[in-house]
Amino acid sequence: MAGHSKWAQIKRTKAVKDAKRGANFAQCSREIIMAAKLGGGDPEGNFRLRTAITRAKAAGVPNDNIKRAIEKGTGVGGADQLEDLSYEGYGPGGVAIFIEAMTDNRNRTAGDIRSYFNKYQGNLGSDGCVAWIFEQKGLIRVTQTSHTEEALFELALEAGATDFSANPDEDGFDIFTEPLALNAVAQALSDGGIAVDSAEVTRIPQNTVKVDSLELAKPLLKLMDAIESHDDVQHVYANFEMDEALLVKLEQP
């Protein structure tokens, strides 16, 4: 599927290199709490919770923390008054940015996000200003399989997938579904002997913006990092593309 942004690739690379801050304990716990609150505490019947638990374990969150977060979400442990919010805006060079957050203080979070946009040459916009650019899809990643690409493709489509593509950055495959079909397709792949590495609902940009200068790239990546480092931010999506040569220059002192 077209529409993968360079930010998605950068995040995966950074996560491998330095355990990206986006996977910190507070963010993982908030996602588990909200998932359990909205869909119940059984991960088998709640794909959002199932994915949140998988992400938390990958980030090293202890099982006791995960259990307490589920209990909070289901009301057993005194649920935090968290609410799902989204923010939209434009970064340097007209890059569209969509932010999903979870907070117990919307004024604090909105003020922080606005300050990041102001500091790094961006503009926080109104609801709907960039949402139309990002299409919600279920995304299943498979990086190790004994199946041939053709066999995996057929199995995915039979299970209800809508699209399929090789992922050279992960040496594997990306399988796309409708959001509500994510859990069923992931389960069907698992039943078919496919090891599913991750399954989550994501947002795919339908068009991208080319960033080809250091003057734009530097503040843009600083803005993205600042947003992702905020404890209340769960996911950040952007629609920019950037050449590897420019990324190399950015990493130089």
Residue extents of the structural domains in the chain: 1-132+207-253, 133-205
Find out whether 14 and 35 touch, Cβ atoms under 8 Å. no
99 and 233 in contact (C-beta within 8 Å)? yes
Flag the least confident range among 107-116, 119-128, 166-175. 166-175
pLDDT value, residue 109: 95
Task: Report CA-CA distances (Å) from 114 to 60, 105, 106, 120.
Answer: 31, 14, 12, 10
pLDDT at position 118 over 70? yes
Asked if 176 and 162 touch (Cβ cutoff 8 Å), the reply is yes
> Per CATH, the architecture of 133-205 is what?
2-Layer Sandwich (3.30)
Return mean pLDDT, the chain: 84
| Better-scored residue on pLDDT, 119 or 39 | 119
pLDDT-derived band at 75 (thresholds 50, 70, 90) equals confident
CATH of domain 1-132+207-253: 3.30.70.980
Give yes or no for a contact between 224 and 178, defined as CB atoms under 8 angstroms apart: no
Question: Residue 22: pLDDT above 50?
Answer: no
Q: Angle 151-156-162 (CA atoms, 0-180°, nearest 5)?
A: 135
Segment 6-32 shows an average pLDDT of 64
What's the whole-model pTM score? 0.81
Evaluate if residue 17 carries a pLDDT over 60: no
- Tokens 């077209």 sit at which residue? 2
In angstroms, the CA 98 to CA 231 distance is 16
1-132+207-253 shares its CATH topology with 133-205: yes
